[in-house]
Structure 1
């Protein structure tokens, strides 16, 4: 089927040239997804979708335009090219827009080494329903669980990118997932929590019943939650949500924000942004990992890179346009869909793990808050001021005493990140591997 996508991108490029484009790239995406939802023991929804979509970007000098379409007919391809060229002629001039030089593009890669697509057959709807029901049963087996919503799904996505600079390449990516949400209590005393797992290879999926049981254990642990006291306390971000902190750092070093001058880290290149001993690595070549890819959305070869080394910020996340604007080379981090031009985005991220276990950090923090869930956010992208709704567990003298909810945690990201302590509990199969993180002196607003 990749051959079909390749032919479609070639047809789009040829049509763009006939329509008057000076340069162009074309992206074709084909996807299949299947999902099953179980609620209160009954099959609530079974969905299957199959779709194909194409996106064409044309350039005339520094003017560019994108058009997407799901109709693959020859007439539509011609119309799309003509429409895109007409739009580009009216677009504002961008001196930084443009394709990669042919000398920059990826030409050789070992796609098999990435293991992005499971060779096993697509699972049947019945097999997915069995997974969802097993997750439900695993949760309902624990006393006190009143209701469970369980889901199982499978997806297969094929992409092919071609450009007038000579680049052409594509790959397929598969995924299988199971999740459960468990409820306990009633009325205003109702609590819920969830668990879920996803893998590229179906054989790597953990037991569905165990996923349900974990969701139930988490929900039951939240029963009787109350507001914590207001004050300044250490806060431990559980591994489940700790990656959100690193996500704020990654957003702040995104080339688009840096080029606009709107980032709280805009002047931090070469400065300390994490504690000494901690590094942040991007590795888009990890096998069987959802964020891996052999080339970026502009056809540049991807590679492992050090973002933060021993606490010191080493560079920005750049695509071609933001790199040109900043006078730097692209870091091969372009991402795009069929409806948009490329923009910078990271892939697989690793934060250096610490030596302490999560339990040891809980003991170390004394009295404070273990956060397991975040709700909403107020993040100032220019100053790094941070405020989020949170829930989790109160820790007293190094021991978890009771669940808490309806509180707000606040601080400044620059100070938060440079003073954190990492645990050693990051999960290997995740695209973003970040362990639990202990932060000192955050402001809590509760009762």
Structure 2
């Protein structure tokens, strides 16, 4: 147990780091007493406030508080896992016993086990401060005021904003502590012990423009680790309203084949599809259209993807992954060629490879093009599109991860001579992700951060567009 662990809970939490360490010590100590040489335990707590309003009236106030302790016990190559939300000593022991019993009666798995000692984050790794925790001491009344101001700004933008699906404010924070028991010992080299606190706050609104059959809805939001970094309610509301207004008088278009420009928030979804296709679980199960792609081209030759888990305040930042494995900056794709997968310890062993520190997901990915110039804003990207479809909304989940076939409902704008001509709706765009990734012609300088992914607007050379 760390001698420097605080006995005082951080703001907004009921449990201190010291209490968490005691719970983990109890769990791992009991696992050892049952005869387990290797085990892992993690305890966490989350707390938050969510407030929503609609048409100038308070609609919902929700406070959430949850806690959990999870234990994994290894008996040779047999693994058992159990969890509880009861932090009493008796409940913790019962949970460890349950995990132990599951391990006793489960089948052996030759790749089950703790991460290899050389991959576990060191004490210096675990101590890295990435500026992830910014608690927001906001009351429900203050949150409602912000949400109301956001919605009011949307209504004030134009008399054509006739309705609203509401505005909301969310303030969320969590912390955790986890540790390993390796060879019956704690605290030695290659034995993990660590945790940290983090926060995530947001503000959003969804205004409706027009009336009757001509109504159009859009939304916008701001999400940050620190509340002071959020966009103002007025800016979010006004921009959401402008987006909704720009969709009025939308029409269908005839079925065609044309270039498609994905707005930057949607382009992050293309990057997400790539991550899913090169993640360990999909790869070892052979359920990926990019199986066996390491060292091979998977994207256009001018594209690079970088991963940096050490961005201060980044939404995907972490000094170690969910297993306690150290993270590190790396280039995932270089010149369109796959340089690395996204692997946990288990999936890496299944593939005969080494973990990449991605148990739990990717860390701050950035997709860039070597063709991008500083002035390649959205207007410049529309000029590059020339004549085609600019997509700002996607619907449905029409992506086949095995074949890469892609088909989504869409809405956006038809572009002629590099300028938006009119809004379009009730269309479907279709292609194959292999072709789409290889067919990326340009990436805009209008970079947008969506969760743990940052990318500008993306121009794909050709897709099928099904209309009327």
TM-score (norm 2): 0.90
Partner of 1:339: none
Stretch deviating more after TM superposition (7-16 or 400-409) = 7-16
Answer yes or no: is the 8 Å Cα contact 2:265–2:450 preserved in 1.
no
1:263-282 to 2 correspondences below 5 Å = 263-282=288-307
Partner of 1:13: 28
1:157-212 CA deviation, whole Å, 9 max, x = no partner?
00111111331100000122110000112333221000000111122112111101
Answer yes or no: is the 8 Å Cα contact 1:194–1:219 preserved in 2.
yes
Partner of 1:253: 278
- The alpha carbon displacement at 1:291 in A equals 1.1
1:66-81 to 2 correspondences below 5 Å = 66-81=81-96
Answer yes or no: is the 8 Å Cα contact 1:358–1:425 preserved in 2.
yes
Query: What secondary structure, in the 3-state scheme, does the structure 1 residue paired with 2:397 have?
Result: strand
- The alpha carbon displacement at 1:429 in A equals 8.2
Partner of 1:237: 262
Query: What secondary structure, in the 3-state scheme, does the structure 2 residue paired with 1:109 have?
Result: helix
- The alpha carbon displacement at 1:113 in A equals 3.3
Q: Count the aligned residue pairs.
A: 437
Partner of 1:342: none
Partner of 1:352: 368
Say whether residues 1:440 and 2:461 are aligned partners.
yes
Partner of 2:356: 331
Among candidates 52, 56, 64, match of residue 67 of structure 2? 52
TM-score (norm 1): 0.95
Partner of 1:167: 192
Say whether residues 1:318 and 2:333 are aligned partners.
no
Answer yes or no: is the 8 Å Cα contact 2:126–2:320 preserved in 1.
no
Answer yes or no: is the 8 Å Cα contact 2:136–2:227 preserved in 1.
no
- The alpha carbon displacement at 1:333 in A equals 0.8
Answer yes or no: is the 8 Å Cα contact 1:161–1:297 preserved in 2.
no
CA distance in 2, matches of 1:363, 1:247: 26
Partner of 1:366: 386
1:100-148 CA deviation, whole Å, 9 max, x = no partner?
2333311223756300001x65222222112111101110102211123
CA distance in 2, matches of 1:325, 1:146: 55
- The alpha carbon displacement at 1:445 in A equals 0.2
CA distance in 2, matches of 1:303, 1:238: 29
Say whether residues 1:41 and 2:62 are aligned partners.
no
CA distance in 1, matches of 2:219, 2:296: 38
- The alpha carbon displacement at 1:224 in A equals 1.5
Say whether residues 1:177 and 2:198 are aligned partners.
no
Name structure 1 gaps, 5 residues minimum.
Answer: 336-344
Say whether residues 1:390 and 2:410 are aligned partners.
yes
Answer yes or no: is the 8 Å Cα contact 1:272–1:311 preserved in 2.
yes
Among candidates 181, 196, 200, match of residue 221 of structure 2? 196
- The alpha carbon displacement at 1:330 in A equals 0.6
- The alpha carbon displacement at 1:437 in A equals 0.4
Superposed CA RMSD in Å reads 1.5
